[in-house]
């Protein structure tokens, strides 16, 4: 059985198709297809408050391509989730209605809390017991912070701070201070050793650029800071041509890394663990759970 997840973010829209595997009663998911395209909806929404007609056409074209690919793979079921940019767009409801009418594809706009929950469902499986973690998920329009102690989530909050929003200088006054106060109110570095957990495309890319990514699954604060400074020292053109970053990654990777670094510093986290999971994996799991629930009825 194959399932699919489509994640429409503020920077890019991703589709993942996974096969459901069962071994001695244990269910797992194997990624067999992954496609990412830079829609950059956040550029429209954070500047103008709505999605432009040109971007709407691109959404239609992309979802048509995704639909055809799912049909080729004979996907049993799928779910489309949209996050920060479509949450805040004035015309998202009208666009969603038109897409549903023409393509018969339903887009579900999810709140920051639901976004964090879906990511947490897969992240928690990678956490070690009896340890404390600050999960930092940085997207184009928002950042979700989740505090875990002994694999149990004890606090969570979404902030309107993101890589595209920062790039467009559309963060509101005081947003960074709110996030800092939240971290400091929930974490005392003097009494609790915290390890950061980073999810999102930018931290995954930075991790792959690090020297020890093949031997370890984490990197230090100092190493992340050096990577930030290294990438930031290049012009945008050189990041694309010399560092070989995708154009839609080259401009947001620096502001994204600054968000991870800030949260780590406030929490006193010396290391950040980077599991290869994200929102799309949480969506796949939710699709599977819904199928199982239908079968039980």
Tokens of 147: 């505090």
Cα–Cα distances (Å) from 33 to 15, 29, 65, 77, 188, in that order, read: 8, 12, 13, 15, 42
In a shared domain, residues 235 and 131: yes
153: in domain: yes
Tens digits of residue pLDDT in 3-17: 999 999 999 999 999
81, 154: one domain: no
pLDDT at 168: 83
pTM: 0.85
Per-residue pLDDT for 214 more than 60? Answer: no
Instruction: Give yes or no: residues 97 and 176 share one domain.
Output: no
| SS (HEC) of the chain | CEEEEEEECCCCEEEEEEEEEEECCEEEEEEEEEEEECCCHHHHHHHHCCCCHHHHHHHHHHHHHHHHHHHHHCCCEEEEEECHHHHHCCCHHHHHHHHHHHHCCCEEECCHHHHHHHHHHHHHHHCCCCCEEEEEEECCCCEEEEEEECCEEEEEEEECCCHHHHHCCCCCCCHHHHHHHHHHHHCCCCCCCEEEEEECHHHHHHHHHCCCCCCCCEEEHHHHHHHHHHHHCCCHHHHHHCCCCCHHHHCCHHHHHHHHHHHHHHHCCCEEECCCCCHHHHHHHHHHHHHHHHHHC
CA distance 2 to 17: 7
118 belongs to a structural domain: no
Buried-exposed string 228-264: b where 16+ CB fall within 10 A, e elsewhere: beebeebeeeebbeeeebeebbbbbbbbbbbbbbbbb
On whether residue 166 sits in a domain, the answer given is yes
Which domain CATH number covers 241?
3.30.420.150
Q: In terms of domains, do 6 and 62 share one?
A: yes
Average pLDDT over residues 201-216: 80
* Within-domain flag for 161: yes
Cα(197)–Cα(145) distance, integer angstroms: 10
| 99 and 201 in a common domain | no
Contacts of 181 (CB under 8 A, 6+ apart): none
Query: How many structural domains does the chain have?
Result: 2
Task: Based on the fold, state whether residues 158 and 45 are members of the same structural domain.
Answer: no
Q: Is residue 120 part of a domain?
A: no
pLDDT of amino acid 215? 55
Whether residues 155 and 96 fall in one domain? no
Q: Is residue 105's pLDDT more than 90?
A: yes
Q: Are residues 142 and 268 in the same domain?
A: yes
pLDDT at 273: 93
Q: What is the span of the domain harbouring residue 7?
A: 2-112+287-296
30 within some domain: yes
| Interval 159-188 mean pLDDT | 89
Residue 268 lies in a domain: yes
**Does residue 119 lie within any of the structural domains?**
no
173 and 41 in a common domain: no
pLDDT in tens, 61-103: 999 999 999 999 999 999 999 999 999 999 999 999 999 999 9
Based on the fold, state whether residues 246 and 136 are members of the same structural domain.
yes
Do both 133 and 275 map to the same domain? Answer: yes
Same domain, yes or no, for 50 and 175? no
**Which has the minimum average pLDDT: 118-122, 200-204, 249-253?**
118-122
**CATH code of residue 46:** 3.30.420.40
């Amino acid at each position: 059985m194959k399932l699919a997840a489509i994640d429409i973010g503020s920077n890019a829209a991703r589709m993942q198709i996974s096969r459901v595997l069962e071994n001695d009663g244990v269910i797992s998911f194997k990624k067999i297809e992954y496609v990412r395209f830079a829609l950059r909806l956040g550029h429209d929404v954070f500047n103008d408050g709505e999605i432009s007609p040109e971007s709407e056409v691109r959404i239609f074209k992309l979802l048509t391509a995704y639909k055809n690919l799912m049909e080729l793979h004979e996907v049993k079921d799928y779910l489309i989730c949209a996050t920060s940019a479509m949450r805040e767009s004035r015309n998202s409801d009208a666009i969603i209605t038109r897409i549903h009418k023409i393509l018969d594809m339903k887009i579900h706009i999810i709140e920051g809390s639901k976004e964090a929950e879906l990511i947490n469902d897969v992240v928690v499986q990678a956490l070690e017991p009896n340890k404390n973690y600050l999960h930092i998920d940085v997207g184009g329009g928002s950042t979700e912070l989740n505090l875990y102690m002994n694999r149990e989530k004890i606090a969570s909050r979404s902030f309107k701070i993101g890589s595209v929003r920062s790039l467009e200088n559309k963060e509101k006054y005081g947003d960074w201070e709110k996030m800092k106060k939240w971290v400091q109110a929930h974490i005392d570095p003097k009494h609790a050793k915290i390890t950061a957990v980073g999810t999102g495309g930018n931290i995954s890319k930075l991790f792959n650029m690090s020297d020890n990514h093949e031997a370890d699954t984490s990197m230090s604060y100092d190493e992340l800071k050096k990577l930030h400074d290294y990438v930031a020292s290049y012009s945008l053109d050189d990041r694309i041509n010399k560092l070989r970053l995708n154009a839609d990654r080259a401009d947001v990777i620096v502001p994204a890394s600054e968000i991870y670094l800030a949260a780590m510093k406030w929490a006193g986290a010396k290391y950040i663990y980077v599991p290869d999971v994200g929102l799309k994996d949480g969506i796949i799991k939710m699709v599977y759970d819904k199928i199982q629930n239908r079968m039980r009825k």
